[in-house]
Homo-oligomer: A and B are copies of this chain.
């Protein structure tokens, strides 16, 4: 029960659902997620730590950059919830918009992107 509730509470925030959604099939660095959500870096970092603690995302460090992705082998609750999110919000306006923004973000080099973020 604790693990299940922990996982549910991790996605009981729309910004965290947006992070899970935008990580479908790709890996992103924190500065890209910050740009997408348009929130303060400290706020986004907190959201990410909650998702990671619930094992809904995994990380990889490369130099100064942290990359996040959906787990390669998600736990049963994580798998169920990621599937639920995908099935529930694919046609959502916000999610469609996020994907458009992400296209623009990915068209800019990371060096250029990050210097305007902090």
Interface residues of A (CB under 8 A from B): 1, 4-5, 8-9, 11-12, 14, 17, 76-77, 80-81, 84-85, 87-89, 92-95
Contact B84–A1 (Cβ < 8 Å): no
**A13 CB → nearest B CB, Å:** 8
Contact A84–B95 (Cβ < 8 Å): no
Contact A87–B94 (Cβ < 8 Å): no
| Cβ–Cβ < 8 Å partners of A84 in chain B | 80-81, 84
Contact A88–B17 (Cβ < 8 Å): no
28 examples of A-B residue contacts, CB within 8 angstroms: A1-B14, A1-B17, A1-B89, A1-B92, A1-B93, A1-B95, A4-B17, A4-B85, A4-B88, A4-B89, A4-B92, A5-B12, A5-B14, A5-B17, A8-B8, A8-B11, A8-B12, A8-B17, A9-B12, A12-B12, A76-B87, A76-B88, A77-B88, A80-B84, A80-B87, A80-B88, A81-B84, A84-B84
Nearest B residue to A92 via CB reads B1
**A9 CB → nearest B CB, Å:** 5
